[in-house]
């Protein structure tokens, strides 16, 4: 490998959605390459023909495009390298670094059971290792793992790691159906793609010594490895659907901004002092200067939401308006006023759509539970009287509206809630909204009176 040229890769299997852990690993691999002026490639490991689906491949690629993680060169599809994988297996056979095994499934099951009963780690016993058998429909090809010594490598994240060869298996590299296995395919593909650094989840750490030994058997230098700790839920258990959405596309659909998502993922296991907010360029320029955590990170939807709100709050209206999923919000002054009024209440793009609805659509139906909270004895008379007062108001500004309501409350000797709650429900169809006087100003006098009249007939 050329030490001066950093080439990393991310190699997902298209058997499901791109999940949080995979996205974070890919981001770290991409940032490591970019901070070293190198390349990061995408390899789709689609050799599982039954479970691999084009829709998942498309979703993986679309998720990275959304995040802003742009891979270099064309996407590599592992399934297209089948002949090359088999060729390398034959090369290992010819050089005596692999051998043909005809052990039956029954024998292997029996061997495993006996080893487990003796408290041993199950592994192949090497029965066929030196028999020089010929291939047939019932044989597999096993890698001839060294029996002595150790595999020692300097992990980019975890430091020096050692595996004793005697504890490893003569693992299968070609199945009886002629299909090459994972640990062979990965080595061949990493070799052909000239990968210099492999950054992946630490669930792969037991595969690393096997792959290093295959590289040695092929008499080529192995990549430098870095194993990223997994992401846990806030309960300390591995991320799953019980912790909420796990697919990247689900967060996009929730109204999370890609730059907020990328920032949060980067900080989920990497740090640079106390800085929290990073632009994409800052992450690239500073990634090598930061620290990668050796302990698992805990995912927090609240923290991701915090990042998203920070980015939303910093966005100019002209940039924000095109991202909000609403047919009503336009790039005009009214929508700008609406956005500025509800901004503090919005943690996602979707919130802007939800929170702005009543500024564009009159409430037509009121929930019974809301009416029960808002409508008390004499409420309708009070609301009708307030409507008359507001219709006579000369200056339609929030300060004037607030003062008028205040005077009305004092004259009627009631608490603000007794008129404020039904007024809010009448205007917004909800019991929650920004300051009601500001809502009134923005809706306009005619609209406010019309909505109160409609509510009086509906309550």
Report domain extents, the chain. Answer: 80-189, 241-320, 362-458
Per-residue pLDDT of 13-65, as tens digits, reads 999 999 999 999 999 999 999 999 999 999 999 999 899 999 999 999 999 99
pLDDT class of 244 with cuts at 50, 70, 90: low
> Is pLDDT at 156 greater than 60 in this prediction?
yes
pLDDT class of 328 with cuts at 50, 70, 90: very high
Q: How far apart are CA 189 and CA 41, in angstroms?
A: 11
Per-residue pLDDT of 342-374, as tens digits, reads 999 999 999 999 999 999 999 999 999 999 999
Architecture field, domain 362-458: Orthogonal Bundle (1.10)
Per-residue pLDDT of 415-448, as tens digits, reads 999 999 999 999 999 999 999 999 999 999 999 9
The yes or no reply on domain 241-320 and CATH 3.40.50.2300 is no
Asked if domains 80-189 and 362-458 share a fold, the reply is no
Task: Give pLDDT, residue 2.
Answer: 42
Spell out the alpha helix ranges (H) of 244-391. Answer: 248-253, 258-267, 280-286, 301-314, 317-320, 333-342, 349-360, 368-374, 379-391
Per-residue pLDDT of 259-282, as tens digits, reads 999 999 999 999 999 999 999 999
Task: Give pLDDT, residue 245.
Answer: 60
Instruction: Express as a percent the part of the chain with pLDDT over 90.
Output: 95
Q: Which CATH code, of 3.40.50.620, 3.20.20.60, 3.20.20.80, 3.90.800.10, is assigned to 80-189? A: 3.90.800.10
């Amino acid at each position: 490998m050329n030490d001066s040229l950093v080439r990393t890769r991310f190699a997902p299997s298209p058997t499901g959605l791109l999940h949080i852990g995979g996205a974070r690993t890919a981001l770290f691999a991409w940032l490591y390459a970019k901070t070293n002026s190198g390349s990061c490639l995408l390899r789709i490991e689609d050799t599982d023909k039954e479970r691999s689906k084009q829709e998942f491949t498309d979703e993986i690629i679309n998720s990275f495009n959304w995040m802003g993680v742009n891979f270099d060169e064309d996407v590599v599809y592992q399934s297209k390298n089948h002949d090359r994988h088999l060729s390398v297996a034959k090369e290992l056979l010819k050089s005596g670094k692999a051998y043909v095994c005809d052990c039956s499934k029954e024998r292997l099951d029996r061997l495993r059971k006996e080893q487990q009963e003796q408290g041993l780690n199950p592994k192949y016993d090497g029965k066929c290792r030196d028999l020089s058998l010929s291939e047939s429909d019932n044989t597999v090809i096993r890698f001839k793992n060294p029996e002595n010594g150790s595999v020692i490598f300097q992990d980019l994240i975890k430091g020096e790691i050692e595996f004793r060869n005697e504890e490893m298996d003569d693992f299968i590299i070609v199945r009886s159906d002629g299909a090459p296995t994972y640990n062979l395919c990965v080595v061949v593909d990493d070799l052909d793609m000239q990968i210099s650094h492999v950054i992946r989840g630490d669930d792969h750490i037991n595969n690393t010594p096997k792959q290093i030994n295959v590289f040695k058997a092929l008499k080529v230098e192995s990549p430098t490895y870095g194993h990223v700790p997994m992401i846990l839920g806030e309960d300390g258990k591995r991320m799953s659907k019980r912790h909420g959405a796990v697919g990247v596309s689900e967060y996009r659909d929730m109204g999370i901004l890609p730059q907020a998502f990328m920032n949060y993922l980067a900080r989920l296991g990497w740090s640079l002092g106390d800085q929290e907010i990073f632009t994409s360029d800052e992450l690239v320029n500073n990634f090598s200067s930061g620290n990668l955590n050796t302990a698992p990170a805990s995912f927090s939807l609240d923290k991701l939401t915090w990042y998203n709100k920070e980015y939303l709050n910093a966005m100019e209206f002209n940039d924000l308006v095109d991202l909000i999923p609403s047919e009503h919000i336009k790039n005009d002054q009214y929508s700008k006023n609406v956005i500025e009024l509800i901004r503090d209440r919005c943690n996602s793009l979707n919130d802007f759509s939800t929170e702005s609805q009543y500024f564009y659509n009159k409430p037509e139906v009121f929930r019974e539970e809301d009416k029960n909270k808002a409508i008390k004895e004499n409420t309708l008379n009070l609301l009708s009287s307030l409507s008359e007062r507001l219709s006579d108001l000369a200056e339609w500004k929030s300060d004037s509206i607030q003062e008028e309501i205040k005077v009305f409350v004092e004259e009627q000797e009631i608490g603000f809630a007794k008129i404020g709650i039904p007024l809010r429900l009448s205007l917004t169809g909800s019991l929650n909204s920004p300051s009601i006087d500001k809502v009134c100003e923005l809706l306009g006098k005619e609209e406010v009176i019309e909505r109160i009249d409609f509510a009086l007939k509906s309550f």
